[in-house]
A and B are shown apart, each in its own frame.
Chain A
């Protein structure tokens, strides 16, 4: 296992900059998740680490070694592909054994290592089968076994669960987290699913347009997003965003005028805003309540539910304020009638304020 360090890594395809000046350190044994929307460069960054594509600028270090110019097979990294990339003409045994065969290990050693890896992923009884005979989850396990059998310094996983059905995805999520604990391995995991990122990561790297937006622990990203992009990407359903203006500033109290809501008073903002400055106010759906609750000052917002989703444990209410979607999450047994206006309440301390550039206005 080893530390992974990216220094000013960039990747361009002609005039298109896929990755721009990414610097990042992933600690030994850490489970880091690259997350972002399609086309944000997360898979490209993974491929650069693997050595499958050459970088245009910067440096990559694994442990003490500078691997920037080293070919893929010599970096001591293993990768699990989205498609699994199992060799269809080989049995499960040969698939797992392939990396060891390439190292010209002895047959006895290979057998021992393959059986151990197969045991770890609960595939000992399927070693003679071809991948076509296996289910999606089992194929995924073969791919993982092929990765762990090499004992690499870094594990790279490119959306490994995206081809699985929802139930299996949850099961494999737990298994991968468990496997990470057992192996104590440094893992870099790519996903577009923020839920996977939140549940599995020690640290999340949020990417957008080839740049790192924020790096942090899941709950830090959730509570303290550095900008609007991270705030709306982390959390599901996404954070409600309301346009507003600074109406007045009195001591530590900021009054914001938000069309469709009225005046909202927030205190404790660390940065100075100017009266008349345009802002965006962000409120997470789960911090809205149908009754006054929490500490003062409370913000009251009137909404007309357009649709109500009852999920059992939760009731999700969809409405709109000034043509912007506005979502609330209530307890499962909350009665809400579509079309009938209701007031929802939010602790002002839970409202995020973003300036016109989308950067979070920090709090004291």
Chain B
């Protein structure tokens, strides 16, 4: 009894003191987060219930912007384009990143050089990369069509044909993002104990079985993490489209974020754009929550 009395006081004091220190250290970050994220998010949500355009008096419109949004065929096309882009970028990026990581996890000559080369696109400026790729896709003087012509294939209007433009953007995004996937997979691969591979070899497993039965399942947490990161990232694609296609031709590369930008700053319909932004935010939030829950369940 006396022991309990003698220890309860000091423990509480230390805990209280530690909390204060923790809050003091967190405060600057919390203030910045509040001003840069939470405040604009709440302002956007409020704006989505108005017809604010800065050209006329603002009035409260309730759910009108949302009702308009779900009946807007242009928005539906943008959602379709975004899903096309997301699926087109996410899965090939992950597969290529995994294959590159597995290859460069072996003791092959020059693996450090290859790792650097594959990761370099991630470090380049998106705008600079987009300008270079716009040149690569250029229909008359572009090197891609130059190669096609040389091997006897017809040149293609990569960014001018509605059926090709989105895929052209996807290829550029894969080129830029697979280095990230490779680095994350490499970290995951190095976490797999070598004993498991040795046990599998002794159990008679060969390359394909080891890859499918050991490597891939052991990387499932990394795969889920990458999947969520890439979905969230590709859902918000803007820069490359702004530089290379401006959403064209015929709206074939207009994604949700690009349309949000156009609606707000092109047509000055800030309220309507805010409603799009809110829907996008809720979609991404839903993916993040589902992904986090799956990952947590897998960890258990």
Interface size class of B (residues with CB under 8 A): 10 to 19
Contacts of B203 in A (CB 8 A): 73, 98-99, 102, 146, 150
Q: B220 to A50, Cβ gap below 8 A?
A: no
Q: B214 to A87, Cβ gap below 8 A?
A: yes
Residue-wise, chain B 207-222 has the 8 Å CB interface mask toward A (1 for contact) of: 0010001100110100
The answer for the CA separation of A73 and B207 in the assembled complex, in Å, is 12
Contacts of A268 in B (CB 8 A): none
Contacts of A83 in B (CB 8 A): 193, 195
Summarize B's interface: helix, strand, loop or mixed: helix
Q: Which residue of A lies closest to B220 (CB)?
A: A89
Q: With A85-B193, A85-B195, A87-B196 in contact, is A79–B213 under 8 Å at CB?
A: no
Q: Which residue of A lies closest to B300 (CB)?
A: A132
Query: Which residues of A from 11 to 70 have beta carbons under 8 Å from B?
Result: 50-52
The answer for the CA separation of A78 and B209 in the assembled complex, in Å, is 18
Query: Which residues of A from 68 to 100 have beta carbons under 8 Å from B?
Result: 71-74, 77-79, 81, 83, 85, 87-90, 98-99
Contacts of B201 in A (CB 8 A): 52, 71-73
The answer for the CA separation of A77 and B198 in the assembled complex, in Å, is 13
Residue picked from A72, A77, A83, most chain B C-beta under 10 Å: A72
Q: With A98-B203, A102-B205 in contact, is A72–B217 under 8 Å at CB?
A: no
Q: Which residue of A lies closest to B197 (CB)?
A: A85
Q: Is the CB of A103 closer than 8 A to any CB of chain B? A: yes
The answer for the CA separation of A321 and B92 in the assembled complex, in Å, is 74
The answer for the CA separation of A103 and B218 in the assembled complex, in Å, is 22
* Contact for B202 among A50, A87, A88, A90, CB less than 8 A: A50
Q: B202 to A102, Cβ gap below 8 A?
A: no
Q: Is the CB of B264 closer than 8 A to any CB of chain A? A: no
Q: A78 to B202, Cβ gap below 8 A?
A: yes
The answer for the CA separation of A98 and B209 in the assembled complex, in Å, is 10
The answer for the CA separation of A73 and B217 in the assembled complex, in Å, is 21
The answer for the CA separation of A103 and B209 in the assembled complex, in Å, is 11
The answer for the CA separation of A102 and B208 in the assembled complex, in Å, is 11
How many A residues face the partner with a CB closer than 8 A? Answer: 23
The answer for the CA separation of A98 and B197 in the assembled complex, in Å, is 13
Q: Is the CB of B200 closer than 8 A to any CB of chain A? A: yes
Contacts of A73 in B (CB 8 A): 201-206
Q: Is the CB of B26 closer than 8 A to any CB of chain A? A: no
Q: B206 to A85, Cβ gap below 8 A?
A: no
Q: Is the CB of B153 closer than 8 A to any CB of chain A? A: no
Q: Nearest Cβ distance between residue B194 and chain A, in whole angstroms?
A: 9
Q: B204 to A99, Cβ gap below 8 A?
A: yes
Q: Is the CB of B199 closer than 8 A to any CB of chain A? A: yes
The answer for the CA separation of A285 and B18 in the assembled complex, in Å, is 55
Contacts of B199 in A (CB 8 A): 79, 81, 85, 87, 146
Q: Nearest Cβ distance between residue B214 and chain A, in whole angstroms?
A: 7
Q: Nearest Cβ distance between residue B207 and chain A, in whole angstroms?
A: 11
Contacts of A77 in B (CB 8 A): 202
The answer for the CA separation of A79 and B202 in the assembled complex, in Å, is 7
Contacts of A98 in B (CB 8 A): 200, 203, 205, 213
Contacts of A150 in B (CB 8 A): 203
The answer for the CA separation of A90 and B218 in the assembled complex, in Å, is 10
Q: Nearest Cβ distance between residue B191 and chain A, in whole angstroms?
A: 12
Contacts of A50 in B (CB 8 A): 202
Q: A81 to B198, Cβ gap below 8 A?
A: yes
The answer for the CA separation of A78 and B220 in the assembled complex, in Å, is 28
Contacts of A90 in B (CB 8 A): 217
Q: B198 to A85, Cβ gap below 8 A?
A: yes
The answer for the CA separation of A83 and B193 in the assembled complex, in Å, is 10
Q: Which residue of A lies closest to B210 (CB)?
A: A102
Contacts of A51 in B (CB 8 A): 202
Contacts of A146 in B (CB 8 A): 199, 203
Contacts of A87 in B (CB 8 A): 196, 199-200, 213-214, 217
Query: Which residues of A from 143 to 166 have beta carbons under 8 Å from B?
Result: 146, 150
What are 10 residue pairs bridging A and B, where the CB atoms are less than 8 Å apart in the complex? Answer: A51-B202, A72-B198, A72-B202, A73-B201, A81-B195, A81-B199, A83-B193, A88-B218, A89-B217, A102-B205
Q: Can you name 17 extra interface pairs (CB under 8 A) apart from A72-B202, A73-B202?
A: A52-B202, A72-B198, A72-B201, A73-B201, A74-B204, A79-B198, A79-B199, A79-B202, A81-B195, A85-B193, A85-B198, A98-B200, A98-B203, A98-B213, A102-B203, A102-B204, A146-B203
B residues sitting closer than 8 Å to A (CB atoms) are 193, 195-196, 198-206, 209, 213-214, 217-218, 220
9 closest Cβ contacts across the A-B interface? Answer: A102-B204, A85-B195, A85-B199, A73-B204, A99-B203, A89-B217, A72-B201, A83-B195, A102-B205
